[in-house]
A and B are shown apart, each in its own frame.
Chain A
Amino acid sequence: MPAMHVVVCVKQIPDPAEPGKLEGDNTLDRSGKLILDESDSYGVEMALQLVDKAGDGEVTLVSMAPNSETSGLRTALAMGAAKAILISDDALSGAGALDTAKVLAAAIEKAEPDLVLTATESSDGYTGTIPGQIAALLSLPSITFAKEVHVDGQTVNVQRQTEAGYDEVTCPLPAVVSVTAGVVEPRYPSFKGIMAAKSKPVEQLTVADLGIDAAQVGAAGAGQEIIAVEDASAREAGEIIEDDGEGYAKIVSFLDGLKVI
């Protein structure tokens, strides 16, 4: 089998367990420690398994993050990815999904992969449009919402999630495939993996390095402007009781009151 070179797009995000904060310009506060988006760990695992199966090849990570952040990348490198490309540039603050896709696509092009894997959406911005946008920018076919991925020569076969169940979908390589969470069980980095990750190469690039005009990306080029951020109306506080063995009866009478039983 020929060598399999897979690029995985990974996002480094503020810890979703912490409450999110906005900056003065209404961009997400990304100043704290950033971690590997858990949704991306599935793509990393899938890529490692596909390379293993091919018997030869490697996994390259591509990420865009502020402040030359690499902590999330190190996690994915510790899982087994060979190297990373990180695009970090102040000009990208406020970049929309399309601009982000342009930056990622330019970096992916440099890596010349056989296959590009992404999550279906990030856990902070959750636009879900980047996989399709990257594919369109690179003129590649794309299959989104993959729950199984198999490479067979120059073809990728995917089980794609649908409303009713799943479809078997096939397309030629190279291609972009977005994978759902739960598609594989992401491995935990071993101690050896963590140590090795420290010295794996992370190529840091600016938008200029990718031949992209800084004025065309970031808040300036986004084609959109946030005009207000408001508090949503909160639900009225309900009745919270400790179960004393009769909690179920409270539920029955609540349902009774609604005339649904």
Chain B
Amino acid sequence: MALNRIWVYAEAADGKVSPLTLELLTKARSLGGTVEAVYAGADVDAVASPLGAHGATKVHSTGDLGGALAGVPVASAIAKAITDGNGPDLLMFGTTYEGRDVAARLSVAVDKPVLTNNVEIELDGDAIVVTEPIFGGTKLVKTRFTDPGPHLALFRPKSFVAEESGGAAAEVASLEVTDAGTAKVTNRHVEEATGPKLDEANIVVSGGRGLGEAGKYEMIETLAKLLKAAPGASRAIVDAGWVPYSYQVGQTGKVVKPTVYIAAGISGATQHLVGMKGSKNIIAINKDREAPIFTVADLGIVGDVHKVLPKLIEALQAR
């Protein structure tokens, strides 16, 4: 079956299109056919330009959702387009809060599977094949859609590199919401974060259970500040309540691919490795020589973080 038309579910915050959306548009362009975006938000006119610059010729807009969670209304709008014969052959979503909600709802509405956690998509003759890493990224599973479309697939962040196509602003078309949904946002809270963002930082310094106690996370923050890095964390210490969820690097949490990743007191559970093994350079400090983190480390220090980190901080402060 031919891939004539691809829709990418676009997301933006404060008028800025998410890097993940631009990555997906770039990849979609390489698959042939027409690339279009779906967007839910009042500021579609502002995002039409960056979407177009990355290859979307059209953006199908639901308009402002009036505080409703995106899942129900956006899925209803896409499902209607599909039922009316105006839908795509393939829908690409980012693995995000909203992306997963919309894809899940839509899969039921059109009774099609949604393939998740993908890092690659390719055409094999007429078949669409997606790749999902499993077992901490040690194995890659390639799966083919066997049903007739539309096909639904979710992709992990940073699977593709965003590149501009030089296209003009996407033409805005309207997409009719048939079910507004009953889950409503009544208030939004922004947690103040200082320094670079975890998934955009050039250097990430993460701490884990090896720090011993919540108070010792301060060493991670100090080191991060010295290196102009973003502080991160393993799931273990997020679950333990030492730091907020937004710090978490891993399968559940952020995927990071910085130039340098420093893992301090992190053993390297599969859950964590998935989120950081794509980093260009990995430095690990851990007491246990057998810790899995050393299998991905470019430089591994087998030692006590309580001894290594203070000296490292002192040496960097002295520079």
Does A215 sit within 8 A of B, measured CB to CB? no
User: Out of A123, A166, A222, A248, which one reaches B311, CB within 8 Å?
Assistant: A248
Contact across chains for B141 and A229 when beta carbons are under 8 A apart = yes
Does B45 sit within 8 A of A, measured CB to CB? no
**Complex CA–CA separation, A123 to B117 (angstroms):** 13
Does B34 sit within 8 A of A, measured CB to CB? no
Contacts of B100 in A (CB 8 A): 128-129, 132, 144
A4-23, CB under 8 A of B: which get 1 and which 0? Answer: 00000000000010011010
Contacts of A235 in B (CB 8 A): 277, 282, 295-296, 298
Contacts of B303 in A (CB 8 A): 242-243, 247
User: Total interface residues on B, using CB and 8 Å?
Assistant: 94
Contact across chains for A241 and B301 when beta carbons are under 8 A apart = yes
Contact across chains for B75 and A252 when beta carbons are under 8 A apart = no
Does A227 sit within 8 A of B, measured CB to CB? yes
Secondary structure at the A interface, as helix, strand, loop or mixed, is: mixed
Does A231 sit within 8 A of B, measured CB to CB? yes
Chain B binder among A47-55, A83-91, A94-102: A94-102
Contact across chains for A161 and B145 when beta carbons are under 8 A apart = no
For A233, the closest partner residue in chain B by CB is B140
User: Out of B96, B271, B299, which one reaches A250, CB within 8 Å?
Assistant: B299
For B124, the closest partner residue in chain A by CB is A227
Chain A binder among B54-62, B170-178, B234-242: B234-242
Contact across chains for A242 and B13 when beta carbons are under 8 A apart = no
Contact across chains for B184 and A171 when beta carbons are under 8 A apart = yes
Does B183 sit within 8 A of A, measured CB to CB? yes
**Complex CA–CA separation, A222 to B183 (angstroms):** 30
Question: Given known contacts A144-B100, A243-B308, is B186 in contact with A164 (CB within 8 Å)?
Answer: no
Contact across chains for B144 and A224 when beta carbons are under 8 A apart = yes
**Complex CA–CA separation, A171 to B182 (angstroms):** 6
B101-113, CB under 8 A of A: which get 1 and which 0? Answer: 1011101110111
Contacts of B277 in A (CB 8 A): 235
For A182, the closest partner residue in chain B by CB is B239
**Complex CA–CA separation, A222 to B115 (angstroms):** 10
For A130, the closest partner residue in chain B by CB is B104
Contact across chains for B301 and A227 when beta carbons are under 8 A apart = no
- Chain A stretch 173-191: residues in CB contact (< 8 A) with chain B: 175, 180-182
Number of A-B pairs, beta carbon distance below 8 Å: 253
Contact across chains for A168 and B186 when beta carbons are under 8 A apart = yes
Contacts of B191 in A (CB 8 A): 164-166
- Chain A stretch 210-261: residues in CB contact (< 8 A) with chain B: 222-232, 234-235, 237-243, 245, 247-252, 254-255, 258, 260-261
Contacts of A228 in B (CB 8 A): 141-142
**Complex CA–CA separation, A36 to B143 (angstroms):** 28
**Complex CA–CA separation, A63 to B213 (angstroms):** 36
> How large, as a class, is the contact surface on chain A?
35 or more
Contact across chains for A101 and B184 when beta carbons are under 8 A apart = no
Contact across chains for B203 and A260 when beta carbons are under 8 A apart = yes
**Complex CA–CA separation, A8 to B301 (angstroms):** 43
Does A58 sit within 8 A of B, measured CB to CB? no
Contact across chains for A170 and B139 when beta carbons are under 8 A apart = no
Contacts of B111 in A (CB 8 A): 98
**Complex CA–CA separation, A129 to B109 (angstroms):** 13
Contacts of B113 in A (CB 8 A): 96-98, 222-224
For A136, the closest partner residue in chain B by CB is B108
Contact across chains for B114 and A97 when beta carbons are under 8 A apart = yes
Does A193 sit within 8 A of B, measured CB to CB? no
User: Out of B137, B154, B183, B296, which one reaches A170, CB within 8 Å?
Assistant: B183
8 additional A-B pairs beyond A232-B139, A260-B203, beta carbons within 8 Å, are A136-B105, A136-B108, A182-B241, A227-B124, A231-B140, A239-B299, A249-B315, A250-B299
28 A–B contact pairs at CB < 8 A? A16-B271, A20-B135, A22-B139, A97-B114, A98-B114, A129-B116, A129-B154, A142-B71, A144-B100, A147-B245, A163-B96, A165-B246, A166-B191, A167-B185, A167-B189, A169-B183, A171-B182, A180-B252, A182-B238, A224-B115, A224-B145, A227-B143, A228-B141, A232-B140, A243-B307, A247-B285, A248-B308, A260-B227
Residue positions of B touching A, CB distance < 8 A:
13, 69, 71-72, 75, 95-97, 100-101, 103-105, 107-109, 111-117, 124, 129, 133-135, 137-147, 154, 181-191, 202-203, 227, 235, 238-241, 245-246, 251-252, 259-260, 262, 269-271, 277, 281-283, 285, 289, 294-304, 307-309, 311-312, 315-316, 319
6 smallest beta-carbon distances between A and B, as pairs: A243-B303, A132-B104, A136-B108, A165-B191, A240-B300, A223-B147
